[in-house]
Amino acid sequence: MRSVLLVHAGAGTWKYLDRESIIATLENALETGLRALTGEGSAIAGAVEATKVLEDSGILNAGIGSVVDLSGHVSMDAGVMDGYTGRAGAVASVTYPRNPVVLALKVMELTDHILIAGSPADDLARRLGLEKHPGPSQKVLKRYKEYIMKGYSGPYVKSYELAKKLGIGDTVGAVAVDSKGRVAAAVSTGGVMLKFPGRVGDSAIPGAGFYANRAAAAVATGIGETIIESFLTLSAVNLVAEGLSASTAAKMSIMKHTSISGPDTAGVIVVSSDGDFGAFFNTNAMPWGYITSDGKLGISGLPKK
Ligand code: GLY
């Protein structure tokens, strides 16, 4: 069967979108991920490699483009899940790795744990020789200083209300199905701008920010607290397991999520083990794209001009 890969650049208002850069980044992630997915590759390799490209773009809220917390520091969450084996790996509140998604993959492959948090996870990244994060970008630090000047500061800033107001793009991720019908999910984020230090969002929690089983894989983006409350990706994958198409499952899971958490809160991408796929969001935009091993590529979810 044909392999399929989906990626997204985050749900949000995308007020400050640079269309060309976003499209080029999505296409690069899709093409890189597809190479890791086809031939001797696998769904999990495709999803991780695609997410790594998005982390390395510097223009999205993950990896080297991550936003900062209330204290002005980067701390990131990431997760991966292989639907065929049912194994997941995740990291929370990490500061050391440039590519938290790679560390999450190592947690899945090298340990029998699922989630490792904070400085021990950073130590693991160091011991594994993973590349070091360069620290917040100048662009992110400039925005941070502007928000602090405007009085957006702690100790209990409502960071997710703020995220909605400021229209910050959120999180990156990928889902894939390989030629053997195995599905996988990968997600990575800098979290919410001005979050309380130590806050962990949905991207570290299986069933919330990412989920995969033998039927389907899904990755979520948006306000992490709301995604944890609705267990958005578990909900989407369960709908596929019950017989719905991936696109209907994406739409219905977001409708259910919206009824709990309201609009402007989340988006999801879904792929099923038979190669069917879809995406849905309740925000102004969620740039996403797909690529197939039989030569199709599409980009969607950009805000209207
Ligand atoms: N969706 C990412 C976060 O809220 O942390």
Structural fold of domain 4-300: Glutamine Phosphoribosylpyrophosphate, subunit 1, domain 1 (3.60.20)
32 is catalytic: no
Q: What is the pLDDT of residues 173-190, one digit of tens each?
A: 999 999 999 999 999 999
**91 compared with 16, residue with greater pLDDT:** 91
Least confident window among 65-69, 88-92, 123-127, 161-165: 161-165
Cα–Cα dist 5/31, whole Å: 9
Q: Where are the domains of the chain?
A: 4-300
Decide if 240 contacts 290 (C-beta within 8 A): no
What residues flank ligand 1, with Cβ below 6 Å?
A: 77, 170-171, 189, 191-192, 201-203, 221-224
The candidate with the shortest Cα–Cα distance to 209, out of 92, 107, 72, 60, is 92
Q: What is the pLDDT of residues 277-299, one digit of tens each?
A: 999 999 999 999 999 999 999 99
Above 70 in pLDDT, residue 159? no
The candidate with the shortest Cα–Cα distance to 223, out of 238, 243, 209, is 209
13, 171, 226, 265: the active-site residue:
171
Q: How far is the CA of 84 from the centre of ligand 1 (A)?
A: 26
Going from the C-alpha of 296 to that of each of 3, 120, 219, the distances in angstroms are 11, 42, 21
Residue 72: DSSP 8-state = S
Specify the pTM: 0.96
Q: Where are the beta strands (DSSP E) in 2-56?
A: 4-8
Q: What is the pLDDT of residues 42-95, one digit of tens each?
A: 999 999 999 999 999 999 999 999 999 989 999 999 999 999 999 999 999 999
Residue 168's pLDDT is: 57
Which distant-in-sequence residues (6+ apart) come within 8 Å of 244 by Cβ? 252
Work out the widest C-alpha separation in the chain, in whole angstroms: 55
